[in-house]
Amino acid sequence: MPDAAAHTARLPRTPVDDGVSLRLVHGRLIDGTGAAPVTDAEVVITGDRISYAGAYRAGLADGATVVDLAGRTVLPGFIDAHLHMGSNLEAPLTKQQGAFPSERALDTTINLRRTLMAGVTTARDLGGIDAGFRQAIADGTVLGPRLHLALSALSPTGGHSDYHLANGAQTRGFAVLDPIVDTDDDVRRTTRLLIRSGADVIKVCTSGGVSSPSDQPTDVGVPAEHIKIIREEADKRQGQPVAAHAQGLQGILEAVRGGVSSVEHGYQIDSEAVDLMLSNGTMLVPTLSAALRVPDPALVPGYLYEKKVRWSAIAREHIAKALVLGVKVAMGTDSGVCPHGRNLGELGHLVELGLSPMEAILAGTRNAAELLRLSDQLGTVAEGRLADLVITGVDPLGDIGALADPTSIGAVLQGGRLVKDSYGWFPGSPVVPAISA
């Protein structure tokens, strides 16, 4: 059986001795398991791990540095399971096409930092950046969420990843490697190239899309039989899961029948698709931050704006029904298609369409960790897990929409490192100096 932990990105070493502890006390703990909040909680961090999480233990004198978080809420670091760090789709096309590779790389590092400061400590980039960014974060060269990467999204000629206009001119895309696959041999070879290049997940486009110039979301792209070839190749290596861009119903059904781990977007999902997903253990990543957002028509091509208006309404109707039917959801924003750094606004959208605030939090923590095969490391605040924590002064169960504003995230710890402390909640912390948003 492939080792799921093989693609857990390395963390920067916490710049403290492993024996030094940090005690966070008197905050309210929402631990990501779905359990009721612990109203007077204690979380102990030793090195990069959580060594205790539960009710406050009075009178404990263990030499740890104590931080009083009374009136604040502690949550697991959030996981955004669908974004594009190397893209700012609403930036003027002329600026994008005229940018030097160095400018694009620097813009990406800004997007990475904004995302981390918004409370996302782990992210899955589903096309557009290479493994160098993942390594730079793991080495501590730049600040950002630890990354799982798709590198490119596969589609047939004329499909969602084919950004050529009818005259052959190319617009823009999200590919590190050539994403076009038309034959069985194309699929097999490209999957092998992606894995060789460091892909943690293989992304396919089983439907057309809103942002692509030569197809429609109702078009079928990569078929089920090609997904099965990808799974066969991945299972020979680290068992990389398959994520499917699937907007129209037929594309959704092809994806699930082929054996994907997640349906991305799922705008036209219906009860048949939900039943099939529940039977197969397939998650939905609805990317409502992008789906419900209609961009400024002056900033995007006309074909994109027209499709966006229509398909935003379709997504709102169908995904709301799917949530009522109990489809399992992981949080993903499609940032890059929508603005970076407001990732937790997705939680409010999920609640708007039918989830409870606690269910939305689970989508961005426990469920997303499961999708990324990181449940033994992330997604919950529990003994032995990596110390990824988000601390906020707002009540997320009472006003989850407030988390959309990154200034509501007062502090972020990633693998035991304090990477954000906007309000000086950690004075004199031995972990690292605070870095403001």
Same domain, 417 and 295: no
Ramachandran region of residue 34, left (φ > 0), alpha (ψ -120 to 50) or beta?
A: left
435, part of any domain? no
**Do both 308 and 239 map to the same domain?**
yes
> What 3-state class would DSSP assign to 22?
strand
Q: Quick one: 72 and 83 in the same domain?
A: no
b or e along 242-274 (b: 16 or more beta carbons within 10 Å of the residue's beta carbon)?
bbbbbbbbbbbbbbbbbbbbbbbbbbbbeeebb
pLDDT tens-digit series, residues 50-107: 999 999 998 887 788 899 999 999 999 999 999 999 998 767 666 777 788 899 999 9
Same domain for 135 and 270, yes or no, is: yes
Distance CA 83, CA 427 (A): 33
- The DSSP bridge partners found for residue 385 are none
Kindly report, residue by residue over 172-193, the tens digit of the pLDDT: 667 889 999 999 999 999 999 9
Q: Examine the domain organization and report whether 230 and 278 are in the same domain.
A: yes
> Domain range for residue 407?
4-77+379-421
Report whether 21 contacts 63 (CB < 8 A).
Answer: yes
Residue 73's DSSP bridge partners are: 28, 392
109 touches 359 (CB < 8 A): no
CATH number at residue 112: 3.20.20.140
Rounded distance between C-alpha atoms, residue 409 and residue 332, angstroms: 18
What pTM did the predictor assign? 0.93
Q: In this structure, is residue 302 part of a structural domain?
A: yes
Segment 245-303, tens digit of pLDDT: 999 999 999 999 999 999 999 999 999 999 999 999 999 999 999 999 988 888 777 88
Please tell me whether residues 58 and 171 are part of one structural domain: no
Cite the DSSP H helix spans in 118-203. Answer: 131-139, 184-196
Indicate if 115 and 244 belong to the same structural domain. yes
Same-domain check for residues 367 and 383: no
Cβ neighbour number for residue 239 with a 10 Å cutoff: 15
d(CA 196, CA 34): 38
- Asked whether residue 429 is assigned to any structural domain, the reply reads no
Cα(79)–Cα(86) distance, rounded to whole angstroms? 18
Asked if 31 and 132 sit in the same domain, the reply is no
| Segment holding 308, helix H or strand E | helix 302-324
**Cα 14-20-23 angle, rounded to 5 deg:** 100
Same domain, 173 and 280: yes
In CATH, what number is assigned to the domain containing residue 37? 2.30.40.10
User: Into how many domains does the chain fold?
Assistant: 2
Q: Where are the beta strands (DSSP E) in 286-372?
A: none
Q: In the listed set 371, 391, 408, which residue is the last one of a domain according to the structure?
A: 371
431 within a domain of the structure (yes/no): no
Residue 27 phi/psi, 5° resolution?
-80, 170
Residues 222 and 100 both lie in one domain: yes
Same domain, 358 and 398: no
Residue 340 lies in a domain: yes
